[in-house]
Chains A and B, each alone.
Chain A
Amino acid sequence: MMFAMVGTNPYSFDRMVRPLDMLAGKYHWDIHIQLGHTDYIPVNCRYTDFITREKMLEYIDKSNVVICHGGFGSIRDALAFNKPVVAIPRRPEFNESQDYQEEMVREMEKDGYVIAVYDIEGLESAIISAQGFVPEKRPESRIPGLIEDFMYG
């Protein structure tokens, strides 16, 4: 199965969900969508508006591809399970968010952590190429070490 999430962002993200739903119908994909505040109601996918963190991690674990908006938390949670991630940054000019998600998604893409989709026409090929995509290994963060040294150094 595939899992798609738009996070808790208060803006609707029809630009991601509608084409994804169409693709699910075309390819008979088994997709569960966390809809959040999205207006569009899927017809080919299972969906819930919001789920507990535990349930979300369960869905990620069970899926073979994760499709998500360009939220740092969503991408981080998917990468924690080493899943192929297709990340679609929300655009404020389309009334999809207040913040720009593109800069962070581009950095993630540059480091080989995600497959990015900026123009939604690319969603189909991105999901297909995500099957079998292995994200680059993430280096251990130095932050706990920096904090420990600062506290006890």
Chain B
Amino acid sequence: MNSKQNIPKKVIVLGAGGGHLTEALMAIDGVPMRRIIATYCLSHTRQSLKGEKVFCLIDPHGNLLKYMINLLQSLYMVLKVRPDFVVNTGGGMTLATSLIGKLFGAKLIYVESGARVCSPSKTGSFLYKYSDMFIVQWKPMLKHFPRAVYGGVLL
């Protein structure tokens, strides 16, 4: 067995909110890693993510000040964690962390949402060219993302 496989990779798992977070957790289910879940925190979030390392990111919502805060939070998190990988299931909140992660040497794995059957998401379209691995859940999406891998639906 390759000795590299014994060292779990450091991963920032980006799960923007609600459905995105659920998909993120399903996408990495059973994959060995040392992970931190970066999400938009509501009152129940930490409770639901018992046992996980959680980092709360602000959701920019098109607000310039919130984008700046998100940027600084992302920079802080990436410098602190020094991830090998960033796993992203979409949402505007995840852009800064994905790009900053790439900047500091992490590989970006993007999983396009299962809600996307024929038309791509904005976040997916933007991050496609930066992704080291781009996974789609429905075959028609391969038309939009020819370099992507079809992974089947996370159900």
Contacts and interface: CB of A to CB of B under 8 A. Distances in A.
Given A8-B18, A53-B44, A141 B154 contact: yes
A53 B18 CA distance: 9
Chain A interface residue bracket vs B: 20 to 34
Contacts of A148: 30-32
A107 B109 contact: no
Given A53-B48, A147-B27, A150-B109, A141 B115 contact: no
A106 B17 CA distance: 25
B72 interface: no
Secondary structure at the A interface, as helix, strand, loop or mixed, is: helix
A79 B84 CA distance: 34
Interface residues of B, number: 41
A72 B9 contact: no
A121 interface: no
B155 A141 contact: yes
Contact of B26 (A139, A141, A151): A141
Contact of A151 (B9, B30, B48, B152): B9
A95 B44 CA distance: 31
A46 to B, nearest CB: 22
Q: Which 6 A-B pairs have the closest CB atoms?
A: A73-B19, A72-B115, A143-B151, A138-B155, A148-B31, A103-B117
